[in-house]
Amino acid sequence: MVLIYQKKLDDVIEELDTSVEAGLTQAEVDRRLEEYGLNELEQAEQKTAWEIFLENLNNIIVYLLGAAAVLSVMMGDWIEAIAVLIAVALSVFTGFFVELRAQKSVDSLQDMVTTQTKVLRDGETEEIDSNELVPGDIMELEEGDAISADGRLIEVNNLAVIESALTGESEPVEKDPEVTYEAEEAVGDRLNMIYSGTAVTRGTAKAVVTGTGMDTEVGRISEMLDREEDSQTPLDKELDKLGKFLIMAAVFAAALVVIIGLFNGQAWTEIIHIAVILAVAAIPEAMPAVSTITLSRGMNRMAEHKALVKTLSAVETLGSTSVIASDKTGTLTENQMMVSAIVLADDEKFDVSGKGYYPEGEITQGDHVFDLSYEDYGEYEEGSLEQKLLTFILDGFLANNAKLKKVDADEAGDAFEIMGDPTDGALLVLAKKINLSRGELEEDGWELQEELPFDSDRKFMAVYYNGDKQRVIVKGAPDVLFERYLHEEDREYWEAKNEELAAEGMRVLAVASLDATAVDEGLGEADLEVIVDEYAEAIKIEGLAGIIDPPRDDVKGSIKQTQAAGIKVLMITGDHPKTASVIAQAIGLNHAENTMTGKEIDALHENEAGFLEKVKETAVFARVSPENKLQIIDVLRADNQIVAMTGDGVNDAPALNGADIGVAMGIRGTEVAKESADMILTDDRFSTIVEAVREGRIIFANIKKYVSFLFSCNMVEIMTVLLSIIFLMPMPLQPLHILFLNLVIDIGPAMALAMEPAEEDVMKEKPRDPNSGLVNRNFMTRIIISGIIIGIAAFAMFLIFERSQGDLAYAQTATFTFMAVAQLFHVLNVRKFGKFGLDKSLFDNKWLVIMVLVSVGLQLLAVYLPFMNSVLGTVPLRGITWLMILAGAVVTTGIVYLVKRLSGVHSSSE
């Protein structure tokens, strides 16, 4: 199949049945709009409020609670049933409202802006909404225009296009309609084509539209996205596993009761009644509410840190991340070209500091800072470093068409953007760092007579100033200027310096000049094209500018912290391997020297084992396609890694969608990227990802804490009831006692445990093993043992009071109260991993202190308030009973702590 860029232009025009001179008629446009549709990408369907509600309702713990409520109704326990249904409603509606609010926030962030495009219609140029473009339209483009459809170029004038959103490359691509191809080429190498989602950075062009909407290159990438099914996050899997365990626990407890009851000859009604009690005891009714509130709080905290999360479960996923695969341009770097180094003759090299387009920075050589001023130009000694350096900067400024524009300030201060070629912009910002201005130079007699624009054939541009000041300046590719203006004896030096800068990953630009007043006969009104050819001997190379797309300020520290947390960071980019490797080394990426190209991926990816090994030892993936990015993500996930992918371009979208969690840039990000992601960074900062990772780890640690607390409490209840059945004792608790413990006493401290601050080593541990899970053997063993110890103590307390008092209601009330106090004490064993929770850090979580005190107060009401006595069947307790309860709770808590220490738990990552 012959592709558009491989065909002759005349054949393309004929196939599209259009006219280069007149464009399409309006009647034909209307027909093609009917045939092809509007020039828009298909948008993924947003979840409706009803779908969000059903997703929150479709939860196995909710099902279990619903079943418990039905059983309670069947047994006539209406109060218990209502209480359980309240817990269900709390969980479902909390999750519903939080996710609905998050979706509305994403919708507002992704509002589409209609762009305008100039086209030929019925022989006249008119401006239309870009979504009305159709194949065959003739587009007219100029500097600054956004390109809204794919097209084959017809004619150009010095055209350069920024294609970073599509290819990942930060440098503009010079286009040439005359180029033809026989073999297939990557998108970034098709010089006779332009693509939707890119922008004209220099020159003008005329092009015929060859593809719109989903038939564009952007549309092709968009189709790679799997929008139909979201893969389960680690938390989804863990909660699903937990739900299954709950079913098993409930069924086992009920079956055991039936077997023991039949063996002891108990009546069926009594057996069913006890089975219902155990089933209710086996289900932590507070779990859905606490889980939802924990994740909701995490979502809100991430939003405060500029990370907008689309779903609750995605909040936790970053905390499990073992690999972050990051795009380079605009994510790790500023996506703003900046002069970083200057080289002059006589081996003089200077460093330039700064941040992208921000017009502040210093020019230094070693420890010396150059304070340059145009006002002092005439005062500098002839041939001094100051004079040569200022001349170089001045010439780069004079041979320049870019404009620096201040845009809306962000939290870090003023922000700037360049109108025009980014390379020109880099030289312009360099001049602004020493406060050069057009007005100042014009007042001093710098009058532009002629300009020779840059084009892809010449590979340089020139200007001729012929006012009070006379000067010819030539700026362009070093190899071209070396060939034209260097003597053989100087060539070796300048070529070596060029290679030195290039080896540092810089784009190199050479500047040469001719002082017109030094030419004996003068230049007068001579043609500039003639001057740059005939006066080649007099034109001298002044120096080289090394230009980079600098790393973002916060990236190096964030990379260091991320790698210290055991998370591998990969750079995945469409840029040149050498450039990418240099940036990777500058930001401190481990193994930054190990690179792999897209071609190498294509050759190796079918060999899964070999490809995985190569990926494991590689830190930088360069010149990659969207398919390559997805291949990298897939092989890592197949190796059981939890992968987060960051990016901002259309080319990142498939990998964003395919990763465990996709992280899109909210400011620079394209709409396709933001739609594909699970999380959007509203400040575009890599450091925000580190905050999200930290928050995710805190959330998972806190989930383990409150799950441990709630399950231990459930085990206490199950163990106490089972021991009573085994020893043929009366029931030590009433059904409402269990429900009161689960829904009133336990829920407050559990929610407070979800608000525990980070432990000291939260970002020093390796990512948790995905296979270990939340419900692993060690974790469940400690829960069961803790529950058994406290349950045995509760049963012993029941035996003591039942035998000594001879009053079942008093013994039940004492047992009920002991379980409440012992479970509250147990908070101290679960709030710290490997430590006892009674230390000064306890007051860092004031909510925990408050909730424990509230629970104690509620238990006192349950024991001493007459109304509660009648509802719960409790009786007031004497002082000596309270002393025994407190002593028993302290001893039991100490035993549980010793078991915890012996188990050797010191982290949350097991």
DSSP line for 692-714: HHHHHHHHHHHHHHHHHHHHHHH
Asked whether the beta carbons of 474 and 460 are under 8 A apart, the reply is yes
Find tokens 């030590």 and name the residue.
732
H or E element, residue 727: none
pLDDT at 393: 96
Catalytic residues: 327
Structure tokens at 182: 């026989």
Q: Which DSSP string do the residues of 184-215 spell out, in sequence order? A: ---GGG-TTEE-TT-EEEEEEEEEEEEE-GGG
Question: What SS3 class is residue 272?
Answer: helix
CA distance 321 to 742: 33
CA distance 742 to 744: 6
% of the chain exceeding 90 in pLDDT: 36
260-265-268-271 Cα dihedral, nearest 10 degrees: -30
Segment 631-640 shows an average pLDDT of: 91
* Strands 643-647 and 323-327, bridge-based pairing: parallel
CA distance 910 to 698: 14
| 544 against 468, higher pLDDT | 544
Within 13 Å, how many C-alpha atoms sit on residue 430's CB side? 34
Nearest C-alpha neighbor of 332 from the set 500, 566, 545, 579: 579
pLDDT at 685: 81
CA distance 68 to 451: 84
- Give the model's confidence band at 882: pLDDT under 50 very low, under 70 low, under 90 confident, else very high: very high
* Beta bridge partner(s), residue 55: none
State the CB neighbour count (10 A cutoff) for residue 379.
9
| 105 against 817, higher pLDDT | 817
Beta carbons within 8 Å of 399's beta carbon, 6+ residues apart: 427, 461, 462, 463, 473, 474, 475, 511
pLDDT at 227: 43
* Strands 413-419 and 540-548, bridge-based pairing: unpaired
pLDDT at 772: 65
Amino acid at 11: D
Within 13 Å, how many C-alpha atoms sit on residue 562's CB side? 32
- Give the model's confidence band at 808: pLDDT under 50 very low, under 70 low, under 90 confident, else very high: very high
State the CB neighbour count (10 A cutoff) for residue 685.
22
Within 13 Å, how many C-alpha atoms sit on residue 311's CB side? 24
Q: Is the dihedral of CA 143, 145, 147, 151 positive or negative?
A: negative
| 66 against 535, higher pLDDT | 535
pLDDT at 239: 61
Q: Mean pLDDT lowest for which of 56-60, 389-393, 906-910?
A: 906-910
* Mean pLDDT for the chain overall: 84
- Which listed CATH number (3.40.50.1980, 3.20.20.140, 3.40.50.300, 3.40.1110.10) goes with 338-548? 3.40.1110.10
Asked whether the beta carbons of 648 and 665 are under 8 A apart, the reply is yes
| 169: DSSP letter | -
The fold adopted by the segment(s) 230-306+691-903 is Calcium-transporting ATPase, transmembrane domain (1.20.1110)
* Beta bridge partner(s), residue 595: 620
| 759: DSSP letter | P
Asked whether the beta carbons of 670 and 649 are under 8 A apart, the reply is yes
3-state secondary structure 853-893: HHHHHHHHHHHHCHHHHHHHCCCCCCHHHHHHHHHHHHHHH
| Stated pTM of the model | 0.69
- Give the model's confidence band at 108: pLDDT under 50 very low, under 70 low, under 90 confident, else very high: very low
List, in sequence order, every beta strand (DSSP E) within 66-181.
116-121, 124-129, 138-142, 150-162, 173-174
Which of the given ranges, 261-275, 317-331, 518-532, has the highest pLDDT on average? 317-331
Which of the given ranges, 257-271, 509-523, 604-618, has the highest pLDDT on average? 604-618
Amino acid at 736: L
Q: Is the dihedral of CA 308, 314, 320, 325 positive or negative?
A: negative
Amino acid at 471: R
| 73 against 273, higher pLDDT | 73
Domain boundaries, the chain: 4-41+119-223, 230-306+691-903, 317-333+552-684, 338-548
Nearest C-alpha neighbor of 227 from the set 679, 671, 654: 654
H or E element, residue 404: strand 403-410
pLDDT at 766: 84
Asked whether the beta carbons of 684 and 649 are under 8 A apart, the reply is no
CA distance 862 to 584: 63
Q: Residue 888 pLDDT > 80, yes or no?
A: yes
Q: Mean pLDDT lowest for which of 21-25, 294-298, 797-801?
A: 294-298
Structure tokens at 465: 């100033």
Residue 37 falls in which region: left (phi positive, over 0), alpha (psi -120 to 50) or beta: left
Question: What SS3 class is residue 77?
Answer: coil
Q: Which DSSP string do the residues of 333-362 spell out, in sequence order? A: B-S--EEEEEEETTTEEEEE--BTTBS---
Structure tokens at 260: 């023991």
Q: Residue 776 pLDDT > 60, yes or no?
A: yes
CA distance 397 to 551: 24
CA distance 547 to 340: 6
Find tokens 């005359």 and name the residue.
178
- Fold match between 4-41+119-223 and 338-548? no
Q: Mean pLDDT lowest for which of 188-202, 203-217, 293-307, 440-454?
A: 293-307
| 104 against 13, higher pLDDT | 13
Question: What SS3 class is residue 107?
Answer: helix
Measured CA to CA in angstroms, residue 311 lies from 62, 315, 323, 423, 768 at distances of 19, 7, 21, 41, 22
Planar angle of CA 208, 212, 218, nearest 5 degrees: 110
% of the chain exceeding 70 in pLDDT: 85
pLDDT at 907: 47
| 81 against 603, higher pLDDT | 603
Asked whether the beta carbons of 236 and 320 are under 8 A apart, the reply is no
pLDDT tens profile 358-378 = 999 999 999 999 999 998 888
CATH of span 4-41+119-223: 2.70.150.10
pLDDT at 417: 85
State the CB neighbour count (10 A cutoff) for residue 568.
20
Asked whether the beta carbons of 201 and 218 are under 8 A apart, the reply is no
Q: Residue 643 pLDDT > 70, yes or no?
A: yes
Q: Residue 879 pLDDT > 90, yes or no?
A: yes
Amino acid at 434: I
The fold adopted by the segment(s) 317-333+552-684 is Rossmann fold (3.40.50)
pLDDT at 163: 84
CA distance 516 to 538: 9
* Strands 368-370 and 403-410, bridge-based pairing: unpaired
Within 13 Å, how many C-alpha atoms sit on residue 77's CB side? 23
Gyration radius of the chain over CA positions: 36
Within 13 Å, how many C-alpha atoms sit on residue 840's CB side? 0
Within 13 Å, how many C-alpha atoms sit on residue 593's CB side? 1
- Give the model's confidence band at 779: pLDDT under 50 very low, under 70 low, under 90 confident, else very high: confident
